[in-house]
Each structure stands twice: as structure tokens, then as C-alpha cells.
Amino acid sequence: MTNREKGTRKYRRISYVLGGVAIAVVIVGILSFALKKFEGAPPEFKLTPPVESIGLSQTIQGVARDENSGLKRLWIALLQGGNEVVLLDKSFESTGWLGEGMVHTHKVSVPIHVKEEGLSDGAAILRVNLSDYSYRNWWDGNRTYQEFPVVIDTQPPTIEILSRQHNLNQGGAGLAVYSISEPVDSTGMWVGDQFFKGYNGYFQEVNRYVVFFALSHAMGRDTQLHISATDRAGNTSKKGIYHYINEKNFPKDTLRVSDGFLRQKLPEFEPFPLPGPPPDSLVEKFVAINRDLRVINYETIQEVCKQSNPEKYWEGVFLRLPGSARKAGFADRRRYVYNGKVVDNQVHLGIDLASTAQSPVPAANTGRVCFANDLGIYGKTVIIDHGLSLFSMYSHLSRVDVTPEEMVSKGDIIGLTGTSGMAGGDHLHFSMLVQGTFVDPLEWWDENWINHNITNKLADPGA
């Protein structure tokens, strides 16, 4: 065999091999394409949040998702008896003939108007049919079919006020007891534009609720009060309560600010950032701290008081710092004067009690420690949750002896009085709060007030 023949034969063998490799590559490509296009993972649909009830006018929200071949069609309907109401029938675009879907995730927001659709109160079924762009099922794609049992409910809950007397002081607290005809998602008392959450579970009757509420020092006799309840279908009821508001005139006080006090106290606040450009002078820095840091601290208190345990921990009258004298009252209107000029105005939201320096501070009543830390102008501070949105607050401490989530009993020592924060001398700043609204502590030191306004209502709401 000549060299030329040998070369030709070798070339043919190489060609056969290369041809086989090419065919194999093509086959692998076809198989890979087929596996991708004929993928069998069905699309997913999820209601966000889950729906159990549908009210008179409601919006159904959900998410449709297909990570592989993309969404093709989404169909949603509501079925009641023989009446099927199509709520949504949406097709999604693809990249072309035999292509894949261009949309892989779609958020759904579908309004439902029950009366307009001819639906009535009672059981119904929410149906969802979803397909993708897979080649399966003769190019109809993978399908997901789901049914969600729901109840159509267009009737708002009925509210019955069980407590009869609601006599309130401006800057004071109150309690109401009421019942609701059905389970609800949200209920409580509106005092002006402030909402106070209602709780069930205190009474054996599951439909009976108790709500602690407050009238801030800035609210007068014209403040409107009403109970609201929103059921699981979104229907809301409102009912006013009989009440009487006793207006009060709060004292005015003048606090003189000296350079010596500023030089002594202001370094303590350097770790706390303030909004806006840095103040130039000592008094400007004081005003920024007394005004702007106060607002930041108040927001922290509000956040802490959003979460309260749904049970009543406390019993009887609240304790006062033993052997103490009152140095400032609740809601005193304070003027801060520097070199004969008024530089700031604030409201004092607590009572200042002075005893011997670094006096032991008892917990005013049983509860859960929900805050124990530095709090700006209030200095070292402890806040105790007494349950059902009632809180006590202890500020300007020199030492804190408790930790968050610790349970304390009435009279347990939680720290020592001091001068931390914006305090001019050793004392305890004591506050009471209802769901973040400051109220007059004098009420909670008064056994008669507690019996008439709280304890007797809990024992017999109709008394």
C-alpha cells in the first residue's frame, strides 16, 4: 500500500471519528434542549396573605411563579353554588413561537366586589388555574390547579359595651370592657386619632375584651372616643362609649439653665448623635439635646411599648419611691431660661421624686422588664410591662440591677436613684404609660381610683 493510500485511509478514519463526535454533540444538544423544553416542574401559586374570608369589598393578593419555562396563563375565579365569577384571566408573553415565557414571577392583586358580582354571604371556593410554557401535554404546558375554601361575609361584627362608666381626667387612664359577636383581626379603642389595642383572654368568654386607654395631657373635653372592630373579612364596626372628661390646668414651671450646669452635663451626651449641623454654643447644644434628642428618645419609648404581654401581671396600688418628696409634677409646662431669655419649652411627662442620694428603687408592681438601658435625656432607664399595654418607667438611675425579659415582683429593687441624663440632682423620674401614652402616676398610687376605674370593672363590667 502506498503512502498516499495510507494517508487517505487515515484521513477517512479521522473523518468518521469527527463525524461521530459531531453527531453525538448534536444528539446531546437535542436531548438537552428537549429536557429543558419538556421540563415537568409545575408553576406555583401562593396567596399572600392566606384568605379565609371575603368581605363586601376586598382585594385578593398572591404570587404566581415559574422559574423554568415561564408563566403562560393565570386564571382565577370565585365559585358559589352554580355561579362562577371569573376574577382574572391573564396570558403572558413568550419569546416567540416555541419559545419560553418572558415572565417568571407575577404579583396578583384582584379586587372583589361581592354585591356587584351577584354573590351572597356563605361558603364559596376560590379557584386558581396556572400553566407554563413547557412543551409537555402537547405544548399546553405544566398546570397547577388549586381550590381555596372561603367564606363570604359582608356583615360587620356587633359591638356591645359592657362597662358603663368611663370618667377620665385629662392626662389620665381608663378601662373599658366590651364584647364582639364574632372573631376579629383587630379591635380596640380610638381616643381621637390614637388607637389602643383591645385584648381577649382575661375573661372566660372568648368574645369579651378589655382595653386600657389613655387621654393625653393635650386632649380636652371635645376628644371623641369609640370602640372599633374589624373582622377577618375586613368588615369594620364602630361604637361610641359614654364618657366624661375632666379638664385640668397643669402647673407652669421655670427652670434656669446655668453655664456651670451645661459644662457639667453636656459631655454625657456626646455619644448620642443629633440631627442637623452641630450646634455652635453650649446653650444651642443644650436646646438641641433637650428638644431633638427628647423626640428620638420618645420614639424609642413608643417602640418599646408597642409589644405588651396579653395578661395582667399587676395587683393593687402601685408603689411610690419610699421616703421621697415630690419635686415636679406630671404635665408641668416647663420654660427653660438662660441668661434671662426663654430658650426652650417642654412638657414634663412624669413625676420627679427625691430621697437620699442613690436610694434603692422598687418595682412599682409586678411585671416583665422590657427595657433596661441608657435613654438619652432620661439617662439610665428601666421600663416594666405590667401586661395589657400598661407600663411603668424609672429614669435618671445611677445603677440598673435588672435585665430585659426578667420578671420582677412588686417591691423588687431594680436600681438606684441618680443623676444620669438631663438631671440637675439625684432623683427618680417616674412615669406611667398606656401603650406608649404618658399618663398621670397619681392615679396609679390611689387605691380608690384603681378600685373604681379598673378593679371593679374587671370584677363586674356592668357595675
Q: Does pLDDT of 188 surpass 60?
A: yes
Q: Does pLDDT of 27 surpass 90?
A: no
Higher pLDDT, residue 190 or 18 = 190
Q: What is the mean pLDDT of the chain?
A: 91
pTM of the model: 0.82
Q: Does pLDDT of 274 surpass 90?
A: no
Higher pLDDT, residue 297 or 57 = 297
How confident is the model at residue 10, as a pLDDT? Answer: 60
Q: Does pLDDT of 161 surpass 70?
A: yes
Report pLDDT digits (tens) over 80-124. 988 899 999 999 998 876 678 899 999 999 999 988 888 999 999
Q: Does pLDDT of 31 surpass 50?
A: no
Q: Does pLDDT of 286 surpass 70?
A: yes
How confident is the model at residue 96, as a pLDDT? Answer: 75
Q: Does pLDDT of 304 surpass 50?
A: yes
How confident is the model at residue 277, as a pLDDT? Answer: 84
Domains of the chain and CATH, by start: 44-152 (2.60.40.3880), 159-246 (2.60.40.10), 252-439 (2.70.70.10)
Give which of 384, 387, 390 is closest to 402, Cα–Cα. 384
Q: Does pLDDT of 367 surpass 90?
A: yes
Report pLDDT digits (tens) over 412-453. 999 999 999 999 899 999 999 999 999 999 999 999 999 999
Report pLDDT digits (tens) over 398-420. 999 999 999 999 999 999 999 99
pLDDT-derived band at 271, boundaries 50, 70, 90: confident
